Structure 1
Amino acid sequence: MKEKEFDFELNLEFEGNKNPSEVLKQLSSFYDKLLVLDKHILYNISIEAKIEYDLVDIQFGSILTKIKQVFINIPDDVLKDVLNPSSWLGHLLVYIKHRTLKAIESEEVKSKNDLDKLTDDINKKIKENAPSNKMVLSVNNYYILNTINDINIQAKKLKNGEYISFKSGKKKARINNKSFIDMPKILKELGDTTIEQERVEVLKIKTMDLLSDSSYWKLKREGKSIDVRITDNMWLDEYHKRKHVIQPNDYLKLQLKIIYTTSPNKNKPKVTYEATKVFSVIPPDEIEDDGQTSIFD
């Protein structure tokens, strides 16, 4: 298989002998952290699009794995507005992974200003060639801060002299168990803030409140169950009068407001969700599609 410049390698460097099960478990944990980041970035661009990693090669000595990024269900409104969507998305996610890992390697983020710069760089890159007809959500600095912290926690499990190295073309980054970020200091500098983002999304219904006029419904977003407060009182009134028939596993198309409330006393912001407008109920057969297409093929 021909290697593309937006594929990447992840390598566990170590000396001597090492239990192969432990090696693969460590690599898998780092892949999981990077895939969560990729999925969040991609979801901010398009709620329909999906990404997975395909292992295309593995080499031994130290353990080097070569990964192909595979995109699934890229919607037409992205395809028609981007000259080469596979190249754009592939390069974008490689850039963000590398930029984040390089910041960890160099311990770049020592203050709120450093964090803001890193987050701004990522958001500028996302918007640089984003489809003009798409509402693209920015990545907030708390998400980037917690991504760095999660990767650092994983890196602490490496032994002395071991490194996780990332490579894609000329982009390289290398981290070890010395990686450090002063979370309490940066959280204190961030202080108490509220960040709001809003866009139209289509979310799967898990459970619904049949009685309350200001309902909290459980909906599925980015693979997780979330509580969404529906504040569209007109729609709620119609729903309680049985003007909207909802079946199990139906979807709601809605205007979703995402509210991040931060505090220096907590590592992660409190995230709440409101549906300020409900547009329609969509049956699952109009949303779910088992067909998977890689636009890299």
Structure 2
Amino acid sequence: MKEEELSEDKQPDFLLTIHFPADSANPQRFFAAASECIDALQACDKMLLKSFPTSIQPVFVLEQVQNGSLKIWLRQFLEAVDDDALKTLDWKPAIGKYLVKGKHLLLKRLEGRKGLPPSEVLRTVADELHELAKESDALRLPAYARLTEVDIAEQAKIISSSLSRLRPGEYISLGGDDGEAVIDADFSVTDEDINNLLVSQTLESVREIILMVRKPDFLGESKWDFRFDRKPMSVSIADKDWLSEYQKGKKDIRPGDALRVNMKESVSYDASGEVVSVEREIVKVLEIKRRQEQGSLLERVGK
């Protein structure tokens, strides 16, 4: 893929500012907060681009840093791909404008709030972002996917996490052609908030499954890292008897081993059927499956 830049006269710019008193202690935390806020804005762009049935990658470029409160000018670049879904016109300025407006719109709807907005507000934001995507007119066919309330809620949580280093009275702002949107340091969204607001139904099931061990938890207080279907999966082990034997050294887990287990999966849905969260735990460890060494396998094949 080739990275292409927007022309200077069409390049959308925006200003991220970390606001804090001049005599604030531990100033290094503001630079860490700035980095985390930029990560949150990039995550927001990836969410916004879900409206387009094509692979476009957003890239931020640092243009300027100003003193006083930490002011960071960022430029929006797009990594271009050949895709028949896009019009042949220069779509990059249109989508770049959509991303800048979308970020501002989302932050503006969160402005002045201490926590996650009500579900009807999330629904309105999703509708507004859908209209913004359609206004970009970047696709050959008007097939712009609508973001869900879950998408908006999850992005609010990411923004909340990026503010964790700030203290009461400190805040961030995003400025651009559409004005300034401000988010206070005490804005907070947790997984529990999302579940309480959005979950309409939770379905539970238990299935037998084999999980490849990537990283055991030696203390037994957190999730184990597994691999399933070539993808990472973190799962807690609720089989206390098996865990006790493992922690006493009676169960030997080696790199590359696998566990045959009964795993309970709890999937929570919102009222429209969208998945809000997935929780997994191993309720019973049935067997340790040893990694098959290549040498021993070749020996058996040769016999």
The answer to whether TM tops 0.5 is yes
Equivalent positions of 1:1-297 (< 5 A) are: 6-18=12-24, 19-77=26-84, 79-81=86-88, 83-107=89-113, 110-128=117-135, 129-133=137-141, 135-180=143-188, 187-192=195-200, 217-218=229-230, 262=269, 268-270=276-278
What TM-score, normalized to structure 2? 0.59
Q: Does the aligned pair in 2 maintain the 1:111–1:185 contact within 8 Å? A: no
Q: Deviations over 1:10-62 (max 9, x none)?
A: 01111114545322110010110110121232244144321111001111111
**Whole-Å Cα distance in 1 between the matches of residues 69 and 197 of structure 2?**
40
CA contact (8 A) 2:19 2:170 kept: yes
Letter in 2 for 1:30: C
Structure 1 unpaired stretches of 5+: 195-206, 208-215, 220-224, 227-259, 272-297
Residues 191-234 of structure 1 deviation map (CA, whole Å, 9 limit, x = unaligned)? 3369xxxxxxxxxxxx9xxxxxxxx8447xxxxx69xxxxxxxx
SS of equivalent to 1:31:
helix
Q: CA deviation at 1:132?
A: 3.2
Offset, 1:93? 0.6
* Structure 1 residues 4 and 162, CA gap change in structure 2 (3 angstroms): farther
| Cα contact 2:13–2:75 (8 A) shared by 1 | yes
Identity of aligned residues (%): 23
- CA distance in 2 between counterparts of 1:134 and 1:76 reads 15
1:72 Cα deviation from its structure 2 partner: 0.8
Aligned partners of 1:66 and 1:56: how far apart in 2?
5
Separation in structure 1 between the aligned mates of residue 187 and residue 163 of structure 2, nearest angstrom:
7
Deviations 1:144-197 (A, max 9, x none): 012112212332431122121101123211111232569757644533369xxx
What CA RMSD, in Å, does the superposition of the two structures yield over aligned residues? 3.6
The secondary structure found in structure 1 opposite 2:74 is strand
Task: Determine the C-alpha separation between the residues in 1 that align with 2:182 and 2:117.
Answer: 18
User: Residues 193 and 133 from structure 1, CA distance in 2 versus in 1: closer, same or farther, beyond 3 angstroms?
Assistant: farther
Aligned to 1:25, the other structure's residue is in SS state helix
Give the distance between the partners of 2:27 and 2:193, measured in 1 at CA. Answer: 38
TM-score, normalization by structure 1 = 0.60
Q: Output the CA distance in 2 between the equivalents of 1:185 and 1:8.
A: 30
In structure 2, C-alpha distance between the alignment counterparts of 1:102 and 1:137, rounded to whole Å = 22
| In structure 2, distance between residues paired with 1:86 and 1:57 | 22
Secondary structure class of the residue paired with 1:77: coil
For structure 2, the residue ranges without an aligned partner over 5 or more in a row are 1-6, 203-211, 213-227, 234-266, 280-303
Farther off after superposition, 123-132 or 60-69: 123-132
Q: Is the 8 Å Cα contact of residues 156 and 176 (structure 1) preserved in structure 2?
A: no
AA matched with 1:269: S
State which drifts further: 115-124 or 135-144.
135-144
Secondary structure (helix, strand or coil) at the match of 1:269 reads strand
1:74-118 deviations in Å (ceiling 9; x for gaps) = 33435535x441221111111111111111113396422111111
Q: How many residues align?
A: 212
Note if contact 2:195-2:277 (Cα within 8 Å) is conserved in structure 1: no
Partners of 1:171 and 1:193 in 2: how far apart? Answer: 39
Separation in structure 2 between the aligned mates of residue 162 and residue 3 of structure 1, nearest angstrom: 34
> CA separation of 1:87/1:56 partners in 2, compared to 1, >3 Å: closer, same or farther?
same
Q: Which residue of 2 aligns with 1:200?
A: none
In structure 1, how many angstroms separate the alpha carbons of the residues matched to 2:11 and 2:179?
Answer: 10
Aligned equivalents of 1:45, 1:59: Cα separation in 2: 34
